Structure formats: C-alpha cells, structure tokens
Structure 1
Amino acid sequence: MGSSNTSEPLLDNHDELDRKETPNGNDDDVGFFKEFGPESKRLWELAGPAIFTSICQYSLGALTQTFSGQVGELELAAVSIENSVISGLAFGVMLGMGSALETLCGQAFGAGQIRLLGIYMQRSWVILLTAACVLVPIYVFSPSILLFAGQTTRISNAAGKFALWMIPQLFAYAMNFPIQKFLQAQRKVLVMAWISAGVLVLHVLFSWLFILKFKWGLVGAAVTLNTSWWLIVILQLIYIFVTKSDGAWTGFSCLAFQDLFGFVKLSLASAVMLCLEFWYLMILIIITGLLPNPLVPVDAMSICMNIDGWQAMISIGFNAAISVRVSNELGAGNARLAKFSVIVVSLTSTAIGAACLIVVLATREYFPYLFTNSDAVANETKKLAIMLAWTVLLNSLQPVLSGVAVGAGWQALVAYINIACYYIVGLPAGVLLGFKLDLGAMGIWGGMIGGVCLQTIILIAITTMTNWEKEANLAVSRVKQWGGTAAND
C-alpha cells in the first residue's frame, strides 16, 4: 500500500452510508441535530460492545474472589489483595502502555494504511512483553511488599503465593491489550464482546468445578483465572489469523523491531497517564485507613468505590469509542468530524452521568444495606453518597476527555496535567481537609474531587481550544513517521 493513499480513508459500506447522512468537513449547512443522530449511532455501535466487554473482563476477577470467599476468609483475602494490589498494578501498566495503539492504529486505519496495524500490534507486543518481564519481580517479592504495606504475615504469605501462580496472567495482559486496541481501531468490537461473554460463562463453570467441587482452593482459582485470560487471547488471535482482519494482519514481520523508540516513548506516556489515575483512587482508600478508628470509614469508602467502579465501565466504553472516532477521523484528515464526535460523546456521557447522580442521591438511604448489615457503616456511606454522586458525574466526562487525548496522541501532556491536579492539588487538599480540619473521609474525598474537577476543567479548555485541522495534519505525519518502511511499500 503506497504512501500516496495516506490521505484516503478506508471506509466500509456502513461508513459510506453514514457519511452520506452526515456532512463532511466542508459542509456546514446541515443542522446540528441532523448530524447528531448518525454520529451518536456510530458512537454507540462502538461504546455498547466496549462497555459489555469491559464488564465481562472486570467480572473475571470479581467472580474469582466470590468463589474464593466460599472456601474461607484467608482465601478471599489472598485473592482480593492480589487482584487489587499486585495484578491491579500490572493491569494498569499493561493497559496504559497498550493504549498507545489507540492513537497509532486508529490514525493508521483512518489514513487507509491498514497493513500498519499488524506491524504496530507486533511492536506493542515486543514492548509489553519486555515490560511484563520487568514486572515479574513484583510478583516474586509480593509477600515482602505486602508486609511493608501493613498486611499481616499470614495474609501476605497467602497472597504472595497466589501472586506467583498468577504470573501467566501478567503475560496474557501483555498480549491482550495490543490485540484489543488493534481490533478496536477497526471497529471490530463485537468480536471482543462475544469472546469475552463466552469466556465469562466458561469461567463461572470452571471456577465452581475447580475451586468448590474439586476443592483445589487457591490453586483452582489461579488455574481458572489464568486459563480464562489466555483463552481470550487465543480466541482473538485465531480470529485475526484466520480472517487476516481485512488485510490488517499480513503475518509476522521484522518491521516489528524497527522504530521502537517512538513506540516506547508513547507507551510509557500512556502508562503514566492511566496509572496516575488508578493510583489516585487507590491512595484514597489508603489515606482513609490512617484516620482514627478507620474501620467504618474504610468500609463505607469501599462500598462507594465499588459502585463507582461499575459506573466506570460505562465511561471506559465511551473512552474507547471516542478514542477510535477521533483517531480514525484525524487519520483520515476529517478534522471537523473529529471535533463533532467529541461534542456528541461529551453531551451523551454527561447526560448519563447526571442520571447516575440522581439515582445515587435518590437511593442513598437504601443502597448501603445491599453491602452491609452495619448501621454505622450504612450511615457513613449515606454521608459519602453526596461525594459519590458528584464523583460519578465527573467520572462520566473525565474519561471521555482522556479518550480524546489518547485518540489525538496527547498522552504526555495529560500525564503532566494529572501529576499537577491529582498529586500537587487534590491529594494535599484531601489530607488538609480530612486530618487538619477534622472532616474525616468526606474531607479526604472532597479534596480528591477537587483534583479531578480541576483536571476536567483543564482538559475541557484544551479540547475547546484545539486546532483540529492542525491535529489532522499531525496525524498524517505520525502515520508516515512511525509507519517506517511499511508505509511506503
């Protein structure tokens, strides 16, 4: 595919139909609402399966914890801590580094350079598998790490043993996330949704069989969870290898080892950007645990974080959808459509966030009792529900703006913004309000919300002031630069 095709978007029949319904970058005569419908349809076609996929994959670890809890308290603690701390750290790093492909594959697809997608995915495999090897010592020395973090010797040893058995999952992450970004860029999200759903059903069956029926305990949990993640990887690879993914996969290539420096730089920026957000929420729980008599506020905070985590699955779907739309349109040189997609998804996700805010406030007298029988924990949760309501509203828009940043390739800029807003403003404000002003958990959370709010305002300002024509030109240059030899074949 020659470089002369760089400015010609690759469109399927569905896209051709949509572009007849939706004006191109030079047609401003059609009204906003006429444009809104087709664009909203395209976004939901991406976001719906992405949300479903996120829920299915999120449920793998959650269900493993549930089955382990049927075995005993120690098994539940071991799986919970390994999932949230050790695997959680690896998940954030791998997902973040893999997110670099959302920029590169999306823009290459929009530019019509389909062959580059397979090469980009292979380069990402090289980088993420190397990063996985670097992360292995965290699994090996996890008992000492958990002891240092304040866990008991018994729990640390059990979780550390389980972490050793979960090393295969780490390498499944390294393979899976580049594959998902590769498929997302081509809008093949239904494939991932069906595979994830099928694996989830098998995961439930084999979790019951190995953990409870055969009484394998933690060994059964590890075998089942590792197998499920690798089954997702293998089934996706079979699909890619058999279908050739409409020409995006042309086989393994030595080009995967070229131009790695730019990939590493963007991958690290993506990882830092995402991990700073993950760690921000983890620190919220840790700081709350330092309060006097922390058991009740920690339990209440955990309930609220659980609800926020499920609502986040919706935001993750929109994050993926807008990342694909922006990168595709910028790669195709359609600056106006990229900008319009941002407007549509921002309005849609904010409306959903507002609905979630209303639901949280309307049910705050009732939902705490779904998680606890303690009146003290329930009452504390009712107080925190106000903070939770504003958090779900902010978290409906903030991930979307982060998705815009990924689609446009602004990961490094957003990483700096996250450091300033979260760790220079939000975290100190939370400590000040929670401890110095004796506002407790509400003060800690209030300060953290301040950091998220500031970050969201800055991202809105950056997105609003963006020169989308310039970004489209940069996307074309990026495809040529990092496509290397393959772009000129």
Structure 2
Amino acid sequence: MMEENLLDKESEKQRVRVTWGAFMEEMKRVIHIAWPMIPVSASQNLVQVVSIMMVGHLNDDLLLSGAALAISLFTVTGVSFLTGMACGLETICGQAYGAQQYKRIGMQTYTAIFSLTFVCVVPLCFLWISMENILIFLGQDPLIAHEAGKFIIWLVPALFAHAILQPLLRYFQMQSLLFPMLLSSFVTLCIHIPLCWALVFKTGLNNVGGAVAMSISIWFNVIFLGLYATFSPACAQTRAPISMDLFHGMGEFFSFAIPSAVMICVEWWSFELLVLLSGLLPNPQLDTSVLSICLNTVSTLYSIAYGIAAAASTRVSNELGAGNPHAARVAVLAAMSSTVIQTSVISGTLFACRHIFGYIFSNEKDVVDYVTIMAPLVCISVILDSIQGVLSGIARGCGWQHIGVYVNLGAFYLCGIPAAAALAFWVKLRTKGLWIGIQCGAFVQTVLLSAITICINWEQQAIKARKRLYDGQFSADNRLV
C-alpha cells in the first residue's frame, strides 16, 4: 500500500516539470550544506599538506620524498579505506534521517566506529611497521624507503583517530549539523600549523615532526566532535545508548561499507600508484616530489567539489528516505549545476597562477619549473575530479556503491593505469605521461557515471529506500520484543 501511494503521488509530480523557483530553492539547500563542508574537507587535507610543506622547506629532497611517499601510503592504505567504509553511512544514516528514524543514526555510527577500529585498523598497523621492507621489495630507492618507513610509523596514532573521525563526520553531515564540524576542523588546522613548525624545526625531529604533529592534530579533532555528539542538545534526537544492537547492525553496515570502500579506494589507489611508479623513473627524487605536489594540489582543491558532493549525497539520501523522489531529482540538478560553476572558476584561477604555486611547496627551482609544466594537466584533473566527485556522491545517496565499484575498476585499471605506464615508460613522457594516462581513466569514469545518473528511476529508488528502512525497523522492533 505504501509503495502504491508513493507511485500515485509521484505520477502526479512527474506531470510537472522542474520549475525555476524549485530549482533555485534546492540550490540554496545544496549551498547551505556545501559551503561549510568545503572548509571542513580543505582543513583536513591541509593538515597533510602543511606537514609536507614544512618538510619541503628543510631543503632536502630526500626528506621531502620520504615524507610525501609516507603520507601517500597513509592515504592509500589507511585513510582511503576508512573513509570509504564510513561513506556507507551516507546511505544508511542519510535515508534514516529522511525517514525520521533518528535513533538508528546514532546506533549505526557506533557500529561503524567499532567496525573500523577493530576490524580494519589493527591489521593495518602490522602492515605499516613493515613498510620500509615492503617498499624496498617493490623496487623503491632504499634511502627514500627508509625515510618513508620511519615517517609512517609515527602516523599509527592518526590511523586510530581516523577510524573514529570518519564515522563522526558522517553522523553530523547526514543531519546537516555543519557548525561543529566547521569549528572543529578550523581550530584543528590553527593548532596544527604552529605545532608542526615547532616539531619540524625546533625539536630536532626534522621530517618525523610532521608525522607527530598530524597525529596530535587529528586526535584533537576526534575529541572535540566526540564531546559535542555526547553532550550537545542538537544531537539529543540521534543520540543512542550503547547496546548489543551495535552488533546487530553490522550486517547492514558492511553491505554498504564494503562496496563504498572499494569504490573509493579503487580510485584513490590508482592515483597513489602513480607515486610508486614515479619512484621507478630515471630521477625518482624529483619525479616523486613533483607528482606528490600535484596530487596534493588536486586533493586540496577537491575539497570544494567534496563539499558539493556531500550536499548531493545528503539531500538525495534524505529525500529518498522521506519518499520524495522528485525532490531527489531536483537536488541532483542543483548539485551538478553548482559543480560546473565552481570547477570553471577554480581551474581557470589555477592556470593563471601556474608559474608561482610551486613555491608553496618547495624552494628548489627544478621542482617549481616542473610543477609549472604540469599545471595545465592539473587543471584538467580538477575539472574531471569535480564532476565525478559529485556523481559519486549521488550514487552513495542512492545506495548504488556496487555499481561505482565496476565503473571505477574498469575506468582506472583497464584504461587509466595501463595508459599511464605506457606513456611514462614506453613513450618516455615520465611524470607527464603518468598524469595524462590517469586522466584518460578519469574521463571514462566521468562519462560512465554521467550515463548511469541520467538513467536513474527516482521513483523506484525511493520505494527501495523506504522498503529497506521499514524492514530494518521491523527487525529491530522484533529484537526488542
């Protein structure tokens, strides 16, 4: 009966096209969520970037290469996996919030924190302890491998912090509680900058000081958000007592978390694989440093697209959970329009500043000149990453992570990585070839995700969301009886 009523209601709405007023109203909602998420994401990325910048100004290419490689591995083997799994909450918690199942949001957040901490983090620690030997086995320069292995061991506390931080961020995001995330991220960055400077330059820790500062800063962020979630009246509706239901929700969490993790990691790993390939080029210290600078630039600028993607995921999942497929469709149109505007401005600004932005990371002239050459390709990356990032957010809001897995696998590992390796080593374009190749994969990914989004049946997605939510609620009620 519920499904028939929903279809009847939407059949009437489908006769009415999206009006300009409805579109602009949704644009306001998207911007309201997106603009705080942009500095939240940017400040978190800048914690890593600041550490690389501080180490880079030690004027030692070896220390910079080691730190850059370690942070790349920190991202590829740790943060990407934890972030990807936490993104499963964007479907579960976002749709639950739309359906007004508030306690379910808090309980699934507990489930995510437990799962990420004990199922994921502990095995990763053993991998990181052996990272130096693994890098040498993979053919990396022994000196760079030693510095990277030393750096990443000091990032182990940050790994545990991320296992808690990522679910907390989704907990706040899906409720549109943006101010605590904004305040916490800003204060964390303000603490990290002088802390990192002191540990790198004033304590004798050199590059290791950057890792120690990152661990301390990320834990501060976790503690602040945890206290806010525990004591703030704004979280009273979704605050749930810790109980055995934490374990009952693991099946549902992993059903979305695993494909979310694979979807995100497949893409992130393809970019980080470029850093490893750059270590096999004729001048590994220069190529690794330049490629890492480009990757960090793209990652930082992606924060803007991430804000819009977070807004798209939140709005789509909320409206599908509430049984409003027409509103979800309007949210998609608003989010895509916003990202086209912002990516045009950002890529144009970056291209205009191509001769100077390399000095942010290094004083070495050969590094800065190489970054200038790479700048036009980085601008293309910003455009493609922004569009596909928002499309991926829409897929998470719908619960279509499993489709994203196949898209990303095909785009990057059947197209992007082979093209990158061929251009870099066979055509001998070196770092430039690596970047061009991976952008071929990003282009294929964007085209496929666009086609999938255009073909979405929003009425059927709303029915599936409501059915899953109320089936889950019925099961939970039976356990209580």
TM-score (norm 2): 0.88
Tell me which of 312, 315, 323 is aligned to 1:325. Answer: 315
Tell me which of 141, 145, 161 is aligned to 1:156. Answer: 145
- Offset of 1:156 from its aligned partner? 3.3
1:118 corresponds to 2:118:
no
CA distance in structure 1 between the partners assigned to 2:432 and 2:58 by the alignment: 35
Amino acid at match of 1:156: A
Q: 1:237–1:77: structure 2 CA closer, same or farther, 3 Å change rule?
A: same
For 1:352, the equivalent position in structure 2 comes to 342
CA distance in structure 1 between the partners assigned to 2:12 and 2:98 by the alignment: 15
Amino acid at match of 1:53: V
CA distance in structure 2 between the partners assigned to 1:154 and 1:435 by the alignment: 23
1:138 corresponds to 2:127:
yes
- Offset of 1:367 from its aligned partner? 4.5
Q: 1:64–1:36: structure 2 CA closer, same or farther, 3 Å change rule?
A: same
Aligned length: 470
Amino acid at match of 1:327: S
1:152-198, Cα deviation, whole Å (9 max, x unpaired): 44543443344333222111111111111011000011210101111
Q: 1:378–1:207: structure 2 CA closer, same or farther, 3 Å change rule?
A: closer
Alignment of 1:182-331 (within 5 A): 182-217=171-206, 220-243=209-232, 245-292=235-282, 300-331=290-321
CA distance in structure 2 between the partners assigned to 1:312 and 1:34 by the alignment: 29
For 1:26, the equivalent position in structure 2 comes to 13
Unpaired runs of 5+ in structure 2?
none
- Offset of 1:278 from its aligned partner? 0.7
For 2:29, the equivalent position in structure 1 comes to 42
CA distance in structure 1 between the partners assigned to 2:126 and 2:93 by the alignment: 31
CA RMSD of aligned residues (A): 3.0
- Offset of 1:272 from its aligned partner? 0.8
1:191-241, Cα deviation, whole Å (9 max, x unpaired): 101011112222234334444444455665454332221221111111111
CA distance in structure 2 between the partners assigned to 1:448 and 1:68 by the alignment: 27
- Offset of 1:246 from its aligned partner? 3.3
Alignment of 1:75-114 (within 5 A): 76-114=64-102
- Offset of 1:24 from its aligned partner? 12
Unpaired runs of 5+ in structure 1?
9-22
CA distance in structure 2 between the partners assigned to 1:421 and 1:234 by the alignment: 38
CA distance in structure 2 between the partners assigned to 1:445 and 1:68 by the alignment: 24
- Offset of 1:392 from its aligned partner? 1.5
Aligned residues of 2:46 and 2:300 also touching (Cα < 8 A): no
Amino acid at match of 1:391: S
Alignment partner of 2:242: what SS? coil
For 2:382, the equivalent position in structure 1 comes to 392
Q: 1:51–1:65: structure 2 CA closer, same or farther, 3 Å change rule?
A: same
The percent identity for this pair of structures is: 31
- Offset of 1:111 from its aligned partner? 0.5
Amino acid at match of 1:407: G
Deviates more, 1:80-89 or 1:125-134: 80-89
Aligned residues of 2:76 and 2:265 also touching (Cα < 8 A): no
- Offset of 1:113 from its aligned partner? 0.4
- Offset of 1:119 from its aligned partner? 0.8
TM-score (norm 1): 0.86
Q: 1:420–1:69: structure 2 CA closer, same or farther, 3 Å change rule?
A: closer
Alignment of 1:42-81 (within 5 A): 42-68=29-55, 73=60, 76-81=64-69
Alignment partner of 2:180: what SS? helix
Amino acid at match of 2:451: A
- Offset of 1:146 from its aligned partner? 2.5
CA distance in structure 2 between the partners assigned to 1:71 and 1:452 by the alignment: 34
Aligned residues of 2:139 and 2:280 also touching (Cα < 8 A): no
Amino acid at match of 2:255: K
For 1:458, the equivalent position in structure 2 comes to 448
CA distance in structure 1 between the partners assigned to 2:335 and 2:263 by the alignment: 21
Aligned residues of 1:259 and 1:484 also touching (Cα < 8 A): no
CA distance in structure 2 between the partners assigned to 1:388 and 1:209 by the alignment: 32
